[in-house]
Amino acid sequence: EVQLVESGGGLVQPGRSLRLSCAASGFTFDDYAMHWVRQAPGKGLEWVSGISWNSGSIGYADSVKGRFTISRDNAKNSLYLQMNSLRAEDTALYYCAKDIVPDIVATTAFDYWGQGTLVTVSS
Amino acid sequence: QSALTQPASVSGSPGQSITISCTGTSSDVGSYNLVSWYQQHPGKAPKLMIYEGSKRPSGVSNRFSGSKSGNTASLTISGLQAEDEADYYCCSYAGSYVVFGGGTKLTVL
């Protein structure tokens, strides 16, 4: 059974940093691209970032470019999101999502999602 | 990186069919056959319903179908059931990033 379990969310002050993790199991992690997708309270889905199977291709939404860094450790079956210079508008539930292909250069769809970890940016 | 355009809400009675549109541009929906659709019930994670425009993942009812014409993709749900009431999001690859639609709330009357 595929499982994606996010962790690392919490309440953080504006300008501070937070690192999210996603532990994957039930599939061959290094065969697939992985993504972070967020959802602000009561709002729609927003793609944040994606990383190919071998970390060779990485993409970011303009809203987080230069502040967030995605990475993965295939030996640990884990995906990460380092979030710096956090803003109030980054407040959201952050989902880890598995792609159905290995590379983000032709991302087709997200077939498995975690339950999300909530990030609240507030003073 | 502008969001794809979806109607805010649609509704239908049990047994009827509804269609949700998703309008993008020649840089996203129009350029790639890589549109996907997600169903999200309140408090739950999204669920993949359609990928690559018209393909259904294993386990998804054949009442759900997808299509595309130009810069607009569509999700059709036939034989509406009460459990179809949910939010639906379209999503497209856009070259160097991924873009979602704003979401459509489906109400089953």
Convert the pLDDT of each residue in A71-83 to its tens digit: 999 999 999 999 9
Per-residue pLDDT, A106: 76
Question: Mean pLDDT throughout A97-120?
Answer: 91
CB contact under 8 Å between B36 and A108, yes or no, is: yes
Is residue B88 a contact partner of residue B38, using CB atoms and an 8 Å limit? yes
Those residues whose C-beta lies under 8 Å from the C-beta of residue B63, and which sit 6 or more positions away, are: B77, B78, B79, B81, B84
pLDDT beyond 80 at A2: yes
pLDDT digits (tens, 9 = 90+) for A10-53: 999 999 999 999 999 999 999 999 999 999 999 999 999 999 99
Q: Does B60 touch chain A (CB under 8 A)?
A: no
- Look at A47 and B101 and tell me if their CB atoms are within 8 Å: no
* Segments of chain B scoring below 70 in pLDDT: none
Indicate yes or no: CB of A47 within 8 angstroms of CB of B97.
yes
CB-CB neighbors (< 8 A) of B87 in chain A: 44
Q: Residue A103 has what pLDDT? A: 85
pLDDT at B84: 98
Q: With 80 as the cut, is the pLDDT of residue A108 above it?
A: no
pLDDT of residue B96: 83
